[in-house]
Chains A and B, each alone.
Chain A
Amino acid sequence: MFKKVNTSKSVAKDRLKLVLIHDRCNISPSVMDDIRKEIIDVISKYVDIDVEKLNIEMTDVEDEGRKTALIANIPIRN
């Protein structure tokens, strides 16, 4: 009923998920920043994108246990 969202264990769980995504694919946050920047540069050559609203990150793949994926959600300005 009342979901306790800010329990310390939910904080732990979120932090763990994030830390493991990076541990598993061996990409440091600074390399991630480089990847992000270069993706933005490449896409920007072809379309006008909304840099404020984009999202490029590592995530775990649903239902595939230990696999990671790089996902990018890049809004394009018309």
Chain B
Amino acid sequence: MAKVFVITSGKGGVGKTTTTANLGVGLAIRGKRTLLIDADIGLRNLDVVMGLENRIVYDLVDVIEGKCRMKQAFIKDKRCENLFLLPAAQTRDKDAVSPEQMKTLIAALKEEFDYIIIDCPAGIERGFKNAISAADQAFIVTTPEISAVRDADRIIGLLEANEIRNSKLIVNRIKTHMVKEGNMLDVPDITDILGIDVIGVVPDDENIVISTNKGEPLIYKGNSLAAQAYNNISQRAMGDDVDFLNLETNEGLFSMLKGIFKR
């Protein structure tokens, strides 16, 4: 029976789709049969981040409207045999699907997978309601910026109102030098404000842009800090206890010298 995670945030552009892709790969390479569902109907992007955009034949709306069988819409990942994608429709909008339909669909899929991860769209309207309708657990993604944290707070409230408790936080795009300078909220600041536990901290990493350019989730390249962070998140999502990374390891002599010359 699958555990159903929803990756949500409220704020757009904070890293939900990137997180969904990397967490999905992280679980699948650990042997878990994993389905990713792009619930951002009308603005699909999970397909592109996974590099599977050329393989879409049917989508989530087609399945719900009965235009095809579920299995016809699943796209098998290029690199990992345990990983599947159910893409969003691009020429419809979020009203094409209802929360009840999502619940029915996911109930039918639960026997087939170990994990189902739903990439939630930004916002708090129908798309959000569709995405959370069948979730067991929510991972809330935020960046260390006022607007993102404010929106994350609203999302926590809405999740609780929908009986989804114990949500976990993923803090994305931490820039350690800015934290050191006192110009960026750090993880304790954010958890102090939001009152939920952290399941992962991902440093800002230019390699994420490169990985999206190529359609190859960064977690496959284990060496960067961001990739390690996603690996750790995958372990924790499976229930393991993993120490948080020391994000300062990449700050070398160069950054220190930069700091001196800045003044």
Residues of A that sit less than 8 Å from B by CB:
4, 7-10, 12-13, 15-17, 19-20, 23-24, 65-66
Contacts and interface: CB of A to CB of B under 8 A. Distances in A.
Specify the main secondary structure of chain A where it touches its partner: helix
A13 B189 contact: yes
A9 to B, nearest CB: 5
B150 A16 contact: yes
A24 B153 contact: yes
B147 to A, nearest CB: 10
Contacts of A65: 195-196
Given A19-B150, A65-B195, A9 B156 contact: no
Contacts, number: 43
A12 B185 contact: yes
B183 A8 contact: yes
Size bin of chain B's contact surface? 20 to 34
B153 A4 contact: no
Given A17-B193, A66-B156, 15 more contacts: A7-B182, A8-B182, A8-B183, A9-B179, A9-B183, A9-B189, A10-B182, A12-B185, A16-B149, A16-B193, A19-B146, A19-B150, A24-B153, A65-B195, A66-B153
B154 interface: yes
B182 A20 contact: no
Contacts of A66: 153, 156-157, 194-195
Contacts of B183: 7-9
Nearest to B145: A12
Nearest to A66: B195
A20 B150 CA distance: 7
